[in-house]
Structures are given as structure tokens and as C-alpha cells.
Amino acid sequence: MDKLEFESMTLCPLDGRYGKIKDQLADYFSEYALVKYRVFVEIQWLKFQLDHLHTETLDKVDPNKVDDILAISKDFNFDSFKRIKEIESVTRHDVKAVEYFIDEKLKALGYEHLESYVHIGCTSEDINNTSYACMIKYGLKDVWLPAAKEFASMINKLAVDHKDDAMLAHTHGQPATPTTIGKEFKVYAYRFFSSIENIENIKIKAKFNGATGNYSAILTAFPNEDWPTLNKEFVEDYLGLTFNPLTTQIESHDYTCHILDGIRHFNNVLADLDVDMWLYISMEYFKQIPVKGEVGSSTMPHKVNPIRFENSEANIDLSNNLCVALSNKLPKSRMQRDLSDSSSQRNLGLCFGYSLQAISETTGGLAKCVVNKEKLAKDLNEKWEVLAEPIQTMLRKYGVPDAYDTLKALTRGKNISQEDIQAFAKSLEQLSDEDRQTLLDMTPSSYIGLASELCDIEL
């Protein structure tokens, strides 16, 4: 089956149409990745015992040969995965299949005596929760966060590039105090970076405390060891995660929910940008660059549609709905344990994947857009009534009590010209010559406050 044939038969577009996203995430959120991390955790647990426990069995291992054991995880490949799946077809238990696979590898190395120490004191969830934690940690670190940061940096650059491009702002869909294109991008850049910072500050937690979270089995075998302290060291120093000291049989998944909520928030900021860009394009504040060979409509040849922003919105909805579904499901478990979280977690990659696809779509949409400075200037020049705000504010400075109502009567619901505004400004005898001249020199394009300067704030 060739690539096109394979993609045509997939159920999920992340596996087909958006296959580039799958290629980025497969090493972190696929079934293969889950099994790979399970092997990693089991081997690290065996190494931890070799480093910390002294029994007749463990002490038989030559310290110089420990790398041979670590290679079981380090050299994990598709043949390893295939063998585990063959074992699972018999055991009907995925974690036990990993244990038996490691037993086979140890036997081949001449370490049959270590087989009983593989998975000792563990419940399946000790292996699963640590594996998923590693998947999330590295999926974030290696793929999602770099993409989100690169996108936020791109928005920040657009802010600087367009900091002086004055634009009529709109509140409630109506003309409002002017701003600049750059300032609007800068607001988004700040929001994106803040969202990323919140996600980076979430501690990725794991538990390693046995069947119901009380260390009962391992404590029975080794009653003189401080297992809470030892297992904290294992989780944090050997796996690179944050230790959760109090759990039932399962890790509570609270940190996972926080991360999903963080991705959902980032997505929502992205959706806000998509909608704004769609509206700015419809208002002709941005022009879209036609791409040779592309078709905008099957019947209207002139069309250049903002489809990348629309596609981004759709992928955001999918990512967000999955994030919400998992955030609602994962914190709840029947008493000590049920398996409904296991099936749910297998969809974590989709939350990341659809978010990444949305980022890609918006990036592509922005790449096709150029600022339409002529349209910006035209709209500003037609809306001199927006200067009612600075005029009434200047009158307030001079203690005029009905300043707001005076400007309201002059401008509300009316088409006000430059001549109208300047004639009114000239009539304000209570103002100093300097302040009156300030109003006379002002135009909608110049009435942008500190918009340009705000674009230079370091993020």
C-alpha cells in the first residue's frame, strides 16, 4: 500500500491528510511510544534496585555489565515492539507482556536470576502512569512547546513590523479609538507567551507506590527500607518527573488536566486571532496573496478565501473538545481503580495533534496576508467622529461639566467631516492656544496614543 493509498483509508485526518503532524508526534503518543516508555520505566526500576538494594541476587550483577541491561531499553525498536505484541496476544495484558519481554532479554544476557526483580513491588499503574508522564513531558518539550513558542515569536515580530500602521479599531463592531496593526498583534503575542509560561510551570507528576498506593508489597519484602523516600528518588532522579506522594492505585491525573486546560486556553487565544484575522480580511484591512494554481471557489473565479483561518478554527474545536472530555474524565475513578482512564488516555496525542494543526493553519494563513495600507488610511479618514473622545477629554481638563454630552450631541450617529471637527475645535475659547492647536493638528491616523511604543515591550 503506497502513501496515498494508506492516507485515503485512514479514519483520523492526523494519520492521513495531516500526516506531517502524526510524524511529529508518533514518537511520543503512539502505541509504539507507550510500549517503549513502559520498557524504559521497567528497566530504570531494575537499575534503581541494582544501585540501592543489596541482596544476594542483585549483587551477582557485575557493575560493569549494567549497560547491557540498560540496552534493553536503549535499543528498543520495532522488532522489540512486535515481540511484546506477540506476547500480549497470549497474556491479554499489555504491561505483563512488557515484563515477560524483559525476562526474555535478561535470560539471553545470562541474567535469568534477575527475572524476579523485574516489576517487583509494582502494580501496572506504576508503569503506566510514569510512562504517560514521560510521553507528555517529552511531547510537550520536544514538539508542542517549540511550535507554540515559534508561533508566538512570529506574532511578536509582526507586532514590531507593523507597529506604526494605524488602523481604525472596532468595539462592538463599531468604529472606535484608532490603534495600530502592530499593537493588536502585540496583545496576542503577550497572551500566547503567558499561556505558554503557565503550561511550562505545571509539574508533571508520577506515583510509584504499589497496588493501592501504600507500598504494601515492596514493604513486605524489604521492611527496613524507607520506600517513600526511595521511590521519590526513583521518580525524580531516574525518570525526571515530580513525585506524587499521596495517591490511590492510580496517579490522580490532575496535572494532566492542568496541561490540557493550558493547551485549550492557548487554542482559544489562537481562535480569537483567527476570528479577528477573518474579519480584518473581510474589511479589506489585509489583502490575501493569490497563490498560482490555487482555486478559491468552484464557481466564482475571483475568490481568495481565508480558508487557513477557518481550518484552524475547526482543528481548535476538535482539540478543545478532546481536552475538555479528558479533563472531565481523568480526575474521576471508581474507588481505588477502574480502567476507563486507560482508554481515555490513549487519545492524548489527538489533543496535541489538532492543536499543532491549528497552529500550522494559522501560520499559513498569515503568510498569505499583507497589510492594505490604502484601505486603513481610507477608513480612518472617513471616521473623524472618533476624535470626539480626545476633544471631550481635553474639555474635562478645563472643568467643562457637560463635555461628554456636548460631543455626543455633535457626533453620535452622524457622519462627521474633518471640517466639522476642526471648526468645533477652533470654537473652544476656554482652551489654551497650545491645547487648541493639539486638537487641530490631530487626525484619526495620529490619534493612536502609545500604540507604537507598546509594541516595543520585551516579552
Domain membership of residue 451 (yes or no) is: no
Answer yes or no: do 135 and 112 share one domain.
no
- Distance between CA atoms of residues 260 and 268, nearest Å: 12
Three-state secondary-structure class, residue 79: helix
Task: Read off the pLDDT of residues 348-396 as tens digits, 9 standing for 90 and up.
Answer: 999 999 999 999 999 999 999 999 999 999 999 999 999 999 999 999 9
The answer, yes or no, to whether residue 101 has pLDDT greater than 70, is yes
The answer, yes or no, to whether residue 7 has pLDDT greater than 80, is no
Residue that terminates a domain, selected from 375, 394, 428:
375
The answer, yes or no, to whether residue 180 has pLDDT greater than 90, is yes
Query: What pLDDT is attached to residue 336?
Result: 83
- Output the nine-digit C-alpha cell for 415: 457622519
pLDDT band at 14 (very low <50, low <70, confident <90, very high): confident
The answer, yes or no, to whether residue 232 has pLDDT greater than 80, is yes
Answer yes or no: do 257 and 311 share one domain.
yes
Domain limits for position 194? 125-208+247-375
Answer yes or no: do 52 and 131 share one domain.
no
- Output the nine-digit C-alpha cell for 447: 490619534
Query: What pLDDT is attached to residue 367?
Result: 96
Q: Rounded mean pLDDT of 331-335?
A: 91
Answer yes or no: do 32 and 146 share one domain.
no
- Output the nine-digit C-alpha cell for 27: 514518537
Partner residues linked to 286 by β-bridges: 371
Asked if 317 and 240 count as a contact pair (C-beta separation under 8 A), the reply is no
Asked if 239 and 130 count as a contact pair (C-beta separation under 8 A), the reply is yes
Domain membership of residue 453 (yes or no) is: no
Answer yes or no: do 10 and 105 share one domain.
yes
Domain membership of residue 404 (yes or no) is: yes
Query: What pLDDT is attached to residue 298?
Result: 47
The DSSP H or E segment spanning 255 is helix 254-282
- Output the nine-digit C-alpha cell for 374: 490604502
Answer yes or no: do 103 and 132 share one domain.
no
Please give the mean pLDDT across all residues of the chain. 94
Answer yes or no: do 172 and 276 share one domain.
yes
Answer yes or no: do 109 and 148 share one domain.
no
Task: Read off the pLDDT of residues 41-69 as tens digits, 9 standing for 90 and up.
Answer: 999 999 999 999 999 999 999 998 999 99
Q: Which residues are catalytic?
A: 172, 297
Asked if 50 and 68 count as a contact pair (C-beta separation under 8 A), the reply is no
Domain membership of residue 213 (yes or no) is: no
Domain membership of residue 171 (yes or no) is: yes
Query: How deeply is 194 buried, as exposed, middle or buried, from its count of CB atoms within 10 A (0-12, 13-18, 19+)?
Result: middle
- Output the nine-digit C-alpha cell for 449: 496614543
The answer, yes or no, to whether residue 8 has pLDDT greater than 90, is no
Predicted TM-score (pTM) of this structure: 0.94
Three-state secondary-structure class, residue 218: helix
- Distance between CA atoms of residues 30 and 1, nearest Å: 21
Task: Read off the pLDDT of residues 18-27 as tens digits, 9 standing for 90 and up.
Answer: 889 989 999 9
Answer yes or no: do 25 and 58 share one domain.
yes
